[in-house]
Amino acid sequence: MFDNSATLTILAAGLNAAAFAMTDIAARLALVRDLVPGRLCLTTSFGIEDQLLTCVAAELSGGVELGDGVEIVTLDTGRLFPEIHDVWRLTERHLGITIAALSPPAASVAALVARDGNDGFTASVANRRACCHVRKLEPLARALSGVAAWITGLRGEQSPDREGVPFAEVDAARGLLKINPLFDWSRASVLAELGARAMPVSALEGRGYRSVGCAPCTRAVRPDEPERAGRWWWEELGAAKECGLHPPAAFTTPTMAASGSPPAPV
């Protein structure tokens, strides 16, 4: 973790300049390894982007001198799809690695449920963000403690809010660099590379789930919808589809499209 924001800004600028000269993911991760002093952490939710990055990070950590390598962790919110647990096991077996899991504090979850109910996140945007904070942001803070660079699967093509996402950006609040190696990759390119590497992919992918979070908050998307349209679909159309891990510069102020627990379109 860096104390000096000027240092972060200089590092990010250098990484962005260098990244445009390469598209290979291994080369981009090696660039981060060479230029960023300190620990590197990749967080995975087992979507296609994270599967590709996990594969490459595991290869680099095992086959190239990376010191302690790239730490790979997942946030186990307690509300994941069974299919995500399945691909988690397959991935560990395929790569011969163990992916560390960080869960929300039991006391925080209990307090949240006591206050808002088990599925209270459908009642208001404030409730939904409170749930995301407990189940995702608290574990993420522990995952990134002391980390110099956080590697994510963000792509500019995923949603209007993510258009223009850079290779490297400064996360001033956390005092680290956020690295997005797939920032300029298309969905088709990611899938093609996964196929070439024979990496496991969640069964949800074949059922139209293009961005997968907690099971109650995710539905499949229609062909004409953005990839993240299936996240918190009951919130106002055009609302930022983010949980707080990767907040856009400014959230819109969404309202709920309907009260109660909304059915997912079929």
Residue 145 burial class via C-beta count within 10 angstroms: exposed 0-12, middle 13-18, buried 19 and up: exposed
Q: How far apart are CA 39 and CA 70, in angstroms?
A: 7
Question: What are the φ/ψ torsions at residue 73 (nearest 5 degrees)?
Answer: -135, 160
Instruction: Give 205-238 as a DSSP string.
Output: GGGT-SS---GGGB----TTS-GGGGBSTTBPTT
Q: How far apart are CA 124 and CA 253, in angstroms?
A: 11
Nearest to 69 by CA among 46, 93, 101, 98: 98
3-state secondary structure of 147: strand
Name the β-bridge partners of 171: 176
Q: In sequence order, what are the residues at sequence separation of 6 or more whose Cβ sits closer than 8 angstroms to the Cβ of residue 184?
A: 23, 155, 156, 167
Please answer whether residues 37 and 7 qualify as being in contact, where contact means their C-beta atoms are separated by less than 8 angstroms. no
Instruction: State the catalytic residues.
Output: 243
HSE, CB side, 13 Å, CA atoms: give it for residue 194. Answer: 23
